[in-house]
Amino acid sequence: MKISFNYPHITGKELEYIKDVFESRHLCGDGKYSQLCHGWLEEKIGCERALLTPSGTAALEMAALLLDIKEGDEVIMPSFTFVSTANAFVLRGAKIVFVDITRDTCNIDAGEIEKAITSMTRAVVPVHYAGIACDMPAIMKICDERDIAVVEDAAHAILSNHNGKALGSFGSLAAFSFHETKNLVAGEAGALIINDARMVERAEIIREKGTNRSQFFRGQIDKYTWQDLGSSFLPSELQAAFLWAQMEEAGFINARRQATWEMYHQALKPLEENGLLRRPTISPGGMQNGHIYYVLTNTAEERDELMHYLVREEIGAVFHYIPLHDAPGAAKHSRVCGNLDNTAYVSSRLLRLPLSVSLSQEQVQFVVDSIAAFYQSRIRKGQLQQAAL
């Protein structure tokens, strides 16, 4: 039974909507389908404005431009994240200050943020790892008191919430990703969420190559001109049409993924109770979206052995981020505040299990049985002391 790690879900409406775009001859951005996606995001997130972007990376780059990040500024974030979280701000000349995560949620440790703040701190970028909420009330309090901007990296977190408030609605800005590995996919695509109304007009300008073309298309001005910094940050209608088909089915997609997540969680409980591995922890009040199911092994060596064992069983199990502070790009552009022990711990022990809409209960059970068989064989060989499972 070959089980791939990721299998992008296609709803069946994508081609119909793309054909509609062909026939309408409105191929560039911000046509009917972009507007539908914007409206959907604005309703679901409850934000001032949502703007589709070509990627989550582009949304983060727009956030850095909107905040006028410049040389000498510091931006605090976890090291356990994707490179774009950092690069978007490095591109504007900022120094990244990496702080540790907590072992339970794999999210930035709010207490560590406070210690890292200096007079140069301009922004904090919490990453909602696996769609599980960061401690947003604590982060917002720390940042609001000091007038530091919060940009949520919500790449994993579409339709997750914290006490009913959508992730992506806390910071002044947030970025989502619709890369083919995410819950809602469009190949490559993303969205910038703007919660601070004062930033809406400038965001539109930055996204339209530094011009006020959005206002022109709305008939608010009779010609458009160069206004500010900007770039080409809007995707074509073809991407938007694909994404709209996904948004229409977002409830079904997330429900299926959450059910699979829950099945893993229940089935792996005995292994956790036997002290063989650890399962994810949901922050209190958090409602996650079934984006990633992972386990944490007891040692780094065990994670690699389990991963190879599963791969031999044709199960696509993969590790996740190599901490950014250890990567070659870090030396010139970042510093570390405090120790990053939890980051090193999680990065070396975390194993992501297959999760997609089409994954069957039988396949989930096969993955769980294979994990149990791995531990049984280690116990038999005397490599582990735990009681039989």
Contact segment (CB under 6 A) with ligand PLP among 52-60, 93-101, 226-234, 336-344 equals 52-60
Question: Contacts with ligand PLP: how many residues (CB under 6 A)?
Answer: 13
**3-state secondary structure string across 168-229:** CCCCCEEEEECCCCCCCCCCCCEEEEECCHHHHHHHHHHHECCECHHHHHCCCCCCCCECCC
The residue among 190 and 302 lying less far from ligand PLP, judged by its C-beta, is: 190
CA distance 161 to 135: 11
Residue 155 is a binding residue for ligand PLP (CB under 6 A) = yes
Cα(79)–Cα(98) distance, integer angstroms: 5
**In the bound complex, what is the minimum distance in angstroms from residue 311's beta carbon to ligand PLP?**
21
Sole residue written with tokens 């073809």: 238
CA-CA-CA-CA torsion sign (20, 24, 26, 30): negative
Nearest residue to 182 via CA among 377, 355, 349, 332: 355
CB of 273 vs ligand PLP, minimal distance in Å: 31
In angstroms, the Cα distances linking 286 to 132, 167, 189, 238 are: 7, 9, 26, 34
- Residue closer to ligand PLP by CB (options 38, 320) is 320
Build a one-symbol-per-residue string for 316-355: x at contacts with ligand PLP by CB under 6 A, - elsewhere: ----------------------------------------
Torsion from C-alpha of 342, 344, 348, 350, nearest 10 degrees:
30
Which lies closer to ligand PLP via its Cβ, residue 37 or residue 276? 37
Q: How far apart are CA 102 and CA 109, in angstroms?
A: 5
Rule CB under 6 A: is residue 127 a binding residue for ligand PLP?
yes
| Residue in 14, 30, 152, 153 binding ligand PLP, rule: CB under 6 A | 153
Closest separation in Å from C-beta 80 to ligand PLP: 9
Stretch that binds ligand PLP, among 55-63, 285-293, 341-349, 362-370 (CB under 6 A): 55-63
11 lines the binding site for ligand PLP (CB under 6 A): no
Considering the complex, state which of residue 188 and residue 201 has its C-beta at the smaller distance from ligand PLP.
188
Name which of 18 and 324 has its Cβ closer to ligand PLP.
324
Residues in 160-199 at the binding interface with ligand PLP, rule: CB under 6 A: 177, 179, 190
Choice between 175 and 277, CB closer to ligand PLP: 175
Other residues' Cβ atoms within 10 Å of the Cβ of residue 349: 23
Nearer to ligand PLP, 127 or 367 (CB): 127
Residues whose CB is less than 8 angstroms from the CB of residue 149 and which lie 6 or more positions away in sequence, other chains included: 67, 122, 123, 124, 143, 171, 172, 173
Site residues for ligand PLP per CB under 6 A? 55-57, 81-82, 84-85, 127, 153, 155, 177, 179, 190
